[in-house]
Structure formats: C-alpha cells, structure tokens
Structure 1
Amino acid sequence: MASRLAALGRQQRLLIRNPEQAPQLPSSEVVQASYEDGSAMRAALNGVQTLFLVSGSGAGRLAQHYSAIDAAIAAGVERIVYTSFLAAAPLATFTHSREHSLTEQYIRATGKRYTFLRPSFYLDSVPRWFSSDGVIRGPAGNGTIAWVSRDDLADVAVAVLTTSGHDGASYDITGAQALTLAEIAEQLARVTGFPASYQSETIEEARESRAKLNPSDWELEAWVSTYLAIATGEMSVVSHTVEALTNHAPQTLADYIHQHPESYQHITAARL
C-alpha cells in the first residue's frame, strides 16, 4: 500500500519496528516505533493528521492497539483508518473478530474521525490451508467464504485514504463469490491439476489434530474458531466494496494461483 501511495506522490511517514526492513520510497520518512512503546509512537505521530493503523499480531495485540491509539490521540491525530476484520462483533465466533471489535469500540470512543476496513480471510492464505496431501481439514461444514486478495485490500485502503466521504464507514472487503471449502478444493484442483479435497472434522478432532503442533491456547482457539466462523455463516458475506472503490473486479483464486505457482509448491513437492 505504501508503494501505491508513493506512486501517487503522497507524503508518508512509515512507522516500523526495524527501519532496515522499510521500503525506500519517494516522499516517505521512516521512523522507528512499535505500538506498545507509547512515547515512541507519540513522537512518531507528531504532526500526522491520518493514521493508517494495521492490526498487530500475537496474543498481546489488543494492548498494542490501545497503546497505539492512545499515542495517536495524544499526538493530535485527527483520523484513524483501521484494518479490522469481517464480521467483527463482541460475540463473533472467530476469536480475532472479537479483538477487532474491541479495537473498533476503542477508536469510536476517542471521538476522532475513523474508517474501518473489514477484509475477509486473505486469498494468498488459501494454498496454505491445504496439507501437503492436498486436503483442507476443519469443522467448517458447508459454510462459505469470499476470500479477498491483499492487493485488493491495498487498493481499497488507498482509495479511502486519498478520497473523501469515508468518515464513520465500515467497509466489508471480500471477493466476488462465496464458496464452500469443498468448492475451493475443486478450484485448486482444476487450476493446478493436482487432486485436492475438503475433509470435515468435529471440533474435538480439530483441536486434537492441531494440538500436536503445540500452539498456545490463543493460537489454538483462533485456529479452530476460524473454521467455526465459516460454519456459522459469518464469513459468507459478499460485498461490492472492491469494485465500488477501485473500479476493478476483485481478484479470484484462479487469478492468484496462476500468478503465484510457488504458493502451492508444498502440495506439488509431496507428489514428486
């Protein structure tokens, strides 16, 4: 997204934990800061009008979000655009959606201008949901999901950041078609030429299979609830946000697979 803004000639201040990893872009200033470091965040945001707040990661990210928001308000930021998640709600099935909902509430309570971007699961993660034997396993039932590409999210974000009329909006950002995991497997098989399938699991089976990888409790609950949110229908939303704000259709799984054959290399390698 930063490269897109740079191409438009927009000035940016890039806040990053490790400046050595920052992209070298015109009209861009790199400042070292992390969400949990309130004083560094306040200094980095001094003079900034709009904060594009990318959600953090890990079990402590809610505290990170609050710290970053507090710093933004103390620094005089006037507007926050936040990357939330589809179906964010206090009682959402997907545990991360609950955290996003709490972050949204915290931002609203500041009284500042805001826009929430609520993408579905990312399209580039689809191949990684498949095991090396080409199977998706999980308790998703016949629920559907409309995956969205990171590129489409970036295009929407740029539109929101560079045009007016988005204050107070919450944008669901999805692909154009909601598919079951079985249908996703069919598409992957058709595009790659390798067998792929979906195998339903019970909640207990899902917990047991994933516990073998020694995840933290936070990771395990998020992992299993990902599939349960699909099963309940919470991920079945199909929006027209991408086309409405970017004037192009959302990327499809076939598009992505054709462009990124390396994305399913773990499946092909197991069959060689």
Structure 2
Amino acid sequence: MTILITGANGTVSREVLRELAGQQSVRALVRDAARAPQLDGVDVVVGDLDRPRTLTPAFEGVTTLWLLTPMGPTAPSQSMNAVWAARQAGVRHIVRLSAIGAAHDAPTRNGRLHALSDAEVQESGIRWTILRPSHFMQNLLAAKAGEHLYGLFGEAKVGLIDARDIAAAGAAILAAPERHEGRIYTPTGPESITLHQAAEDIARATQKPVRYAPQSPDEVRDSLLQAGLDEWSAEVLAEYRAAYGSGWGDFTNDHVEQVVGRAPRSFAEFANDHREHFANL
C-alpha cells in the first residue's frame, strides 16, 4: 500500500506525514522539492494540483490518497484534478480533508466550495472518507499581538481542535481505510470554549497578561486587508466570523476518540505546548 499526501507543506498534512513516516509507504506531493518536509521514510514527489499533467507520475502506484486543498476560489478545480489523477492511477480510497459545515447552503463560500468537492469525491467511484474538522487551534498562533488575542468567534463558543489530532485521525484512517469507508467525521476538541477562555489559558501558560479583543465581521475583514491578505480570503474569514458568532461552531463530539482511541487535546494543553511561541508575540 502506498499513500500519497497532498498539501504536504501545510499545517495538517505535515502532521499526517509525521504520523505515518516509518510506519507506512508514504509520498509527499510538493510543488517545490526544495521546500519539502525532511522526514525519514517519506518519499518526495513533485506535482502541482493546478497542472494536471504533472500529477500522473506522482500518482503512479498510489493506493490511498490524502486529499487536501488550500482555501481559495480555485480549490474545487484542484480537487477535481486530484480525483481525476486518482481515477486514472487506480487509487482505491480517498481520505478528503473538507471544512466544518461544508454544505451547499453553508454560511461561508469556503464551505460551499468544499461541498462541491465532497460531492465529487462521493460520486467518483472510489471508496472515500471525509473529515470536516472544527476550527484549528493552530489558527490562534498568529492571532496574538502583545497582550491582545484576536479571532473569529465573537462572543460565542467553538469546539476548536488541535491540528495534530486531526492528523492523528487522518493517519489512522489512511492506515486502515476499509474500516472508515463512506464515513464523514467532524473532529472537534474536548470542549467548546470562548476566546476569552483561550486568552486565559494562554496567559496561564506564558505567565503574561493576555485578553481577547472581539471584532465585528467588518472589523475582521478590514484588519485582514490592512495586514495584506487578499480580498477573497479576508471576506471569507469575515463570513466565518459571522457564522461562528452565531453559535454555529458551538459543539463537540467523540469522533477523534472513535478513530484514534484517545481523547483530543484541550486548548490548555495546546497553549502550554506552544507557550514559548505565544510568549514571544
């Protein structure tokens, strides 16, 4: 069995590779070999999901595909190219990282785009499993400035999850995909918390004062544009702010424990693991 990991330089895929390295025959798909993760037991192949002709050699001999595309308006095209290459190569199972609340009527355009790609995978004729995880804890690593923590939750709670736990679930599925055929999982953390609580956890971990500074959807959009983010992404994140602020992400479940056999990490554990990073912001 050979597993191909797309998005190999991304937050979740890097952790999937760490989980699988030395345990399974695994390849990392990257656009630039010089930037590939350096992990023993991982073969690096060069290909670009925007350029279908580059995918044929990368997919040759692959039995199981980890399909991740970055957020953006061309994501369905990238996913389509990967699914087409998978069909041509005889891939037997696709494990797709989708998005929380992916649906044709999702409150964010990112969720609606993911719904299109989820449907394509489901109708591809290839066995599949889909993950639609909650908000990544890692997103908060770039959300602190001095004593202030920013974010997309408003005053609501969200069952945010450590990307390492998403990766652990993904790796477990990739290693034994037949057990998870036709399943859709929505991995969350162990508790739903506000960003006020997150700020308190960071403050305890760093021994420095931190407080959450809520922003409206418009303020989120404007601040992201001022920071140099492209307009499409800034508007989508403002849509997530409106959705999360309505309580849309206020839920938890046991999907990580079902798949991995252990509970997911709490945000307090995450903050402690990254206390040096937070302390230096």
Aligned-pair identity (%)? 28
How many pairs were matched up? 265
User: Do 1:185 and 1:198's aligned partners in 2 also have CA atoms closer than 8 Å?
Assistant: yes
Inter-partner Cα distance in structure 1 for 2:118 and 2:170: 17
User: How far 1:214 sits from its partner (Å)?
Assistant: 4.1
Summarize the Cα distance change of 1:23–1:187 in structure 2 as closer, same or farther, 3 Å threshold: closer
Show CA shifts across 1:221-257 (max 9, x none).
1221221221122212212111222222211222122
CA distance in 1, matches of 2:224, 2:26: 41
Task: State how 1:1-272 maps to structure 2 within 5 Å.
Answer: 1-8=16-23, 10-25=24-39, 27-136=41-150, 140-163=153-176, 164-267=178-281
What is the identity, as a one-letter code, of the residue corresponding to 1:143? A
For 2:266 and 2:202, the matched residues in 1 are separated by 11
C-alpha contact 1:95 1:221 (8 A) present in aligned 2 = no
The residue identity in structure 1 corresponding to 2:253 is S
Taking structure 1 as reference, are residues 162 and 204 closer, same or farther at Cα in structure 2, changes over 3 Å only?
closer
- Judge conservation of contact 2:155–2:214 (CA < 8 Å) in 1: no
In structure 2, how many angstroms separate the alpha carbons of the residues matched to 1:53 and 1:133? 37
Which residue number corresponds to residue 9 of structure 2? none
Greater mean alpha carbon deviation, residues 49-58 or residues 32-41: 49-58
The offset of 1:67, in angstroms, is 1.4
Q: Distance in 2 between matches of 1:251 and 1:99?
A: 29
**Cα 1:206–1:13 shift into 2, 3 Å:** closer
Is residue 128–residue 263 contact of structure 1 (8 Å, CA) maintained in 2? no
Letter of the structure 2 residue corresponding to residue 152 of structure 1? D
Larger radius of gyration: 1
| Mapped contact 1:257–1:263 kept (Cα < 8 A) | no
Aligned-partner Cα distance in 1 for 2:105–2:228: 27
| Structure 2: distance between partners of 1:24 and 1:185 | 33
Q: RMSD between aligned alpha carbons?
A: 2.1
Any unmatched runs of 5+ in structure 2? 1-15
Look up the SS of the partner of 1:165 in the other structure.
helix
User: How far off is 1:258 after superposition?
Assistant: 1.8
Are residues 13 and 190 of structure 1, via their aligned partners in 2, closer, same or farther at CA, if it must alter by over 3 Å?
Answer: closer
Contact 2:189 2:252 in 1 (8 A): yes
Post-superposition offset of 1:26: 5.2
Question: Gapped runs of 5+ residues in structure 1?
Answer: 268-272
Q: Tell me the alpha carbon deviations over residues 160-215 of structure 1, each in whole angstroms, 9 at most, x when there is no partner.
A: 11223201111111100001222222222233232222333333333333332343
State the Cα distance separating 1:136 from its structure 2 match.
Answer: 2.1
Give the 3 Å change call, closer, same or farther, for CA 134–37 of structure 1 in structure 2: same
* Alpha-carbon offset, residue 80 of structure 1: 0.7
Structure 2 Cα separation of the partners of residues 208 and 90 of structure 1: 27
Question: Structure 1 length as normaliser, TM-score?
Answer: 0.88
Instruction: Give the deviation of 1:137 after TM superposition.
Output: 5.8
Paired residue type of 2:63: Q
User: Residue by residue, what CA displacement relative to the aligned partner does 1:95-138 show, whole Å, maximum 9, x if unpaired?
Assistant: 32222211101111212111011222221222422333313265
